[in-house]
Amino acid sequence: MLTKLAPLALACALAAQTAAAQTATPLPRLESRDGHHALIVDGAPFVMLGGQVNNSSNYAEPLKTAWPVLDAMHANTVEVPIAWEQVEPVEGHYDLSFLQELLDQARAHDKRVVLLWFGTWKNTNPSYAPAWVKLNNARFPRMKDPQGKDHGVLTPLSSATMEADRRAFVKVMEYLRDHDRQNTVIMVQPENETGSYRVPRDFSAEGNRLFAQPIPAVLARKTGKSGTWTQAFGAQAPRAFNTWYVASYVNAVAQAGKAVKALPMYVNAALAGPSNVPDPTGVASGGPQWDVLEIWKAAAPAIDLAAPDIYDRASGNVIQYLDKYARPDNALMVPEIGNAKEFARFFWPTIGRGGIGFSPFGMDASGYFNYPLGARVLDHKELDAFALPYATVSGIMRDWAKIAATRPTWGAAKPDNGSDQSVTLGPWTITASWGQWQFGMKDWTWIKADPAPWASEPVGGMAVAQLSDHEYLVMGDHVRVSFSPADKRDDGMIVSVEEGTFRDGKWVTSRVWNGDQTDYGLNLIDRPQVLKVTTGFYSGKPR
């Protein structure tokens, strides 16, 4: 009897040991309160300083090339795809070996993971679906165009496709539940850039039948609209219709995944211009673009947030995108942005808007570059541009995330026209100006000076948090930050500028800036520096 039980007891003891080695931590979650958002990781607010690998780096060897890049840029998180075709190459036969490889490599390199599920949609296409899905149009039908011809994109109206995708996604989530008790994976993105280009909805017989129906009651309640899709949405009706069905499909996939392991889940948008209502045939119809977020919110309650993929180099457009996705009901996160140097400065306005994460795309050394969207090559010039803001924030990452969850924050990037940017927080106006030396004023004529080397470059940004009535936390690079009383009649002054950091949640000063270091604004140029600025009014309170 004893000899029979011994191996079993040993197996149990070993299993218990393995489980104990993977200490369970609280599940990551998104918290939203009073218009502020926080991504909670290991029980405390967290800012994702991310980098996304190239699309085909979802294999052991190319993944290895990502870690030196991520380390060099001071990233704390990697975004990595896992493909339906690699998880379920044969129907019903699952292979999660890459997921284990990813967990092992990420843990060895001390990085958290955002997992990207490349399933039914990848930049709208079914390219990452397994061959048995791609090739079986009878069982997994494409959308039909208005002439009744097949479009390349799988229809969101097929429950067979949704159920097949969902089954595989649930296997991924089950694997995370069973093998990632320490939550190396902190967020999941079900699908990638959903929707359909050129054909705004499925014109199949079933598509036409549904399109003639009244809009769903939940959507009517959320938008205050009523009637059929055409009555409710006019010229945008085909796109609104497709958005509802794509979002409902993704919701079903996400919901089933969350029932297994309730990680935060988000969707990413291929953007179509920040200030125009997009042409329904020119945009990825169905995707979570800024102007259809109401539909996504109504159809996909299992999705925590929608996020912009930014490859637009025009600074005004980038800022508009950030503003459109930073909403009381939508935490801002930039899951993709070009990896060229000039995109790095938008990290600052992202976190200044309370952004929970930021991630340039193509951050590995697999030898692939997506120029003209990103950099021609990922050399030190590009990496350093991202490394500087990441290094600045990484030292106080938990503290910044906690502050941003409750206190007023703001951020700016040098605009294309180089104009000053300012904000009023409490009784102070804080102004960011660009391209200046650390000493002196631009309009001085009594002494000749060359322009600063970075004056003509698209670099520079800052973020500020108002810590109390009179204290501010300031960070940035290639920027001059000036404080002036919001009411010109006030006699405010900077009382002290402390450079320092937080230790165990408490501010620790390493030195006080004064004299040349404060006479011409606070000049944060080329190294990680965090400042606490204390202000005051010598003849009493501000007006």
Q: Which residues bind ligand DGJ (CB under 6 A)?
A: 55, 123, 192-193, 309, 336, 361, 370, 373
- Shortest approach of ligand DGJ to residue 270 CB, angstroms? 6
How many CA atoms, within 13 angstroms, populate the side-chain half-sphere of residue 526?
Answer: 9
For residues 317 and 370, which CB has a smaller minimum distance to ligand DGJ in the complex? Answer: 370
Specify the 3-state DSSP secondary structure of 422: strand
For residues 334 and 432, which CB has a smaller minimum distance to ligand DGJ in the complex? Answer: 334
- Shortest approach of ligand DGJ to residue 538 CB, angstroms? 54
What CA–CA distance (Å, rounded) separates 79 from 50? 7
Q: In 73-136, which ranges are continuous DSSP H helix?
A: 84-87, 97-108, 131-134
For residues 370 and 438, which CB has a smaller minimum distance to ligand DGJ in the complex? Answer: 370
For residues 54 and 433, which CB has a smaller minimum distance to ligand DGJ in the complex? Answer: 54
454 close to 480: Cβ distance less than 8 angstroms: no
What CA–CA distance (Å, rounded) separates 309 from 361? 9
What CA–CA distance (Å, rounded) separates 381 from 372? 17
For residues 230 and 317, which CB has a smaller minimum distance to ligand DGJ in the complex? Answer: 317
What CA–CA distance (Å, rounded) separates 7 from 2? 9
Burial of 438 (0-12, 13-18, 19+ CB in 10 A): middle
Q: Which helix (H) or strand (E) holds 417?
A: none
Bridge partners of residue 492, in order along the sequence? 537
For residues 96 and 373, which CB has a smaller minimum distance to ligand DGJ in the complex? Answer: 373
DSSP class of 361:
B
For residues 338 and 395, which CB has a smaller minimum distance to ligand DGJ in the complex? Answer: 338
What lies within 8 Å, CB to CB, of 93 at 6+ separation is: none
For residues 304 and 336, which CB has a smaller minimum distance to ligand DGJ in the complex? Answer: 336
- Shortest approach of ligand DGJ to residue 116 CB, angstroms? 8
What lies within 8 Å, CB to CB, of 196 at 6+ separation is: 124, 143, 151, 153, 242, 284, 285, 286
- Shortest approach of ligand DGJ to residue 500 CB, angstroms? 39
- Shortest approach of ligand DGJ to residue 436 CB, angstroms? 35
What lies within 8 Å, CB to CB, of 251 at 6+ separation is: 299, 300, 301, 302, 303
Helices and strands (DSSP H and E) totals, the chain: 17, 23
- Shortest approach of ligand DGJ to residue 416 CB, angstroms? 22
- Shortest approach of ligand DGJ to residue 373 CB, angstroms? 5
Residue of minimal Cβ distance to ligand DGJ: 370
- Shortest approach of ligand DGJ to residue 334 CB, angstroms? 12
- Shortest approach of ligand DGJ to residue 247 CB, angstroms? 17
For residues 172 and 463, which CB has a smaller minimum distance to ligand DGJ in the complex? Answer: 172
Give DSSP secondary structure letters for 483-506: EEESSTTS-EEEEEEEEEEEETTE
DSSP class of 278:
P
For residues 133 and 373, which CB has a smaller minimum distance to ligand DGJ in the complex? Answer: 373
Q: Quote the tokens at residue 313.
A: 């180099």
- Shortest approach of ligand DGJ to residue 342 CB, angstroms? 16
What CA–CA distance (Å, rounded) separates 305 from 263? 12
What CA–CA distance (Å, rounded) separates 260 from 363? 30
For residues 106 and 269, which CB has a smaller minimum distance to ligand DGJ in the complex? Answer: 269
DSSP class of 298:
H
- Shortest approach of ligand DGJ to residue 253 CB, angstroms? 17
